[in-house]
Amino acid sequence: MGLDNFLERVINFEDYAQLLPLVSNSLIAGAVLGVVGGLIGIFIMMRDMAFAVHGIAELSFAGASFALLIGADVVTGSVFGSLIAALVLGVLGTRAKDRNSITGVLMPFGLGLGILFLSLYEGRSANKFGLLTGQIVAVDEAQLGGTLVISAVVILALIIMWRPLTYASVDPVLARARGVRTSGLSIVFMVVLALAVAMSIQVVGALLVLALLITPSAAALRVSSNPAITVLLSVLFALTSVVGGILLALGGALPISPYVTTISFVIYLACRLIEAVRSPSRHQV
């Protein structure tokens, strides 16, 4: 009986047809964020910034929590917190070593602030929990519009700086020698990354944003070295994770994040297995 109750909470499709229209906005937002996450994740991996993403997410969480406390728009608060973290990291963390240490300082500070603001918030507990783990029905028309606009800005910015950013990510020393303004480019990228993190938090939550921005790209890099194919796979994996997670979460009583992270992790394991089969001599456990 205990196992049956657990399975019913995880997956239950009895009222699925009636519930599906409730998450139409979330599906659209999730699909857009999947594209954004897949595109920007490639640069996060190339620039070794996975840890920095977590630091940005914590301050984004603090901003969202403060907005929730004062009754302001949560997405706006999330964006504001992300931008502060991104500017700090972009200006002070020009070297990987500095960036990691600054991130290590920002993470507990942001998480502590967020917890403080949530402890002072006297509203619905679901609103508090959703900032950490995501909600599938939290995207209303206004938030969807904001998500689409900001995502379009992120995608357009990535397209414009794709070539120099790729150059600076692969070989920053040579890029500087060729006249690429790597410092300014890094700050712009950090701002774009901050926007992507803020948008992702409303779907998967602050604690598990890496599953959308890191894991799909890490998986894609395991199975292909072709730049174009890697980007396509990264976007496909991110889309599958977030849209699949929303659809599965609709049939259960759990937050969306366990579904998104599980799908993302399974894809990563599958790519590791493919890599091991194709190159057994180079595979390392």
The residue ranges of every structural domain in the chain are: 26-207
> Identity (one letter) of the amino acid at 125?
S
Please give the residue that has the higher pLDDT: either 19 or 172. Answer: 172
Mean pLDDT estimate for the chain: 81
What does the pLDDT average to over 90-113? 76
Residue in this structure with the two tokens 């979460």, named with its chain if needed: 249
Q: Residue 29, class by beta-carbon neighbours within 10 Å (0-12 exposed, 13-18 middle, 19+ buried)?
A: buried
Candidates 160, 200, 166, 187; CA nearest to 78 is 200
Q: Decide if 86 contacts 157 (C-beta within 8 A).
A: no
Residue 1: per-residue pLDDT = 46
Confidence class for position 15, pLDDT limits 50, 70, 90? low
Candidates 21, 7, 26, 4; CA nearest to 244 is 26
H-only helix segments in 47-181: 50-70, 74-92, 96-120, 125-133, 141-160, 162-170, 172-177
Residue in this structure with the two tokens 């976007």, named with its chain if needed: 235
DSSP state of 208: T
Residue 138: per-residue pLDDT = 60
**Which of 26-35, 132-141, 202-211 ranks highest by mean pLDDT?**
26-35
Q: Decide if 224 contacts 65 (C-beta within 8 A).
A: no
pLDDT tops 80 at residue 125: no
Q: Which two tokens stand for residue 69?
A: 């406390």
What does the pLDDT average to over 150-172? 88
User: What pTM did the predictor assign?
Assistant: 0.83
Confidence class for position 35, pLDDT limits 50, 70, 90? very high
> What are the Cα distances from residue 95, in Å, to 58, 215, 255?
21, 23, 37
Q: Which two tokens stand for residue 216?
A: 């799909």
Q: Report the top-level CATH class of 26-207.
A: mainly alpha
Residue 4: per-residue pLDDT = 54
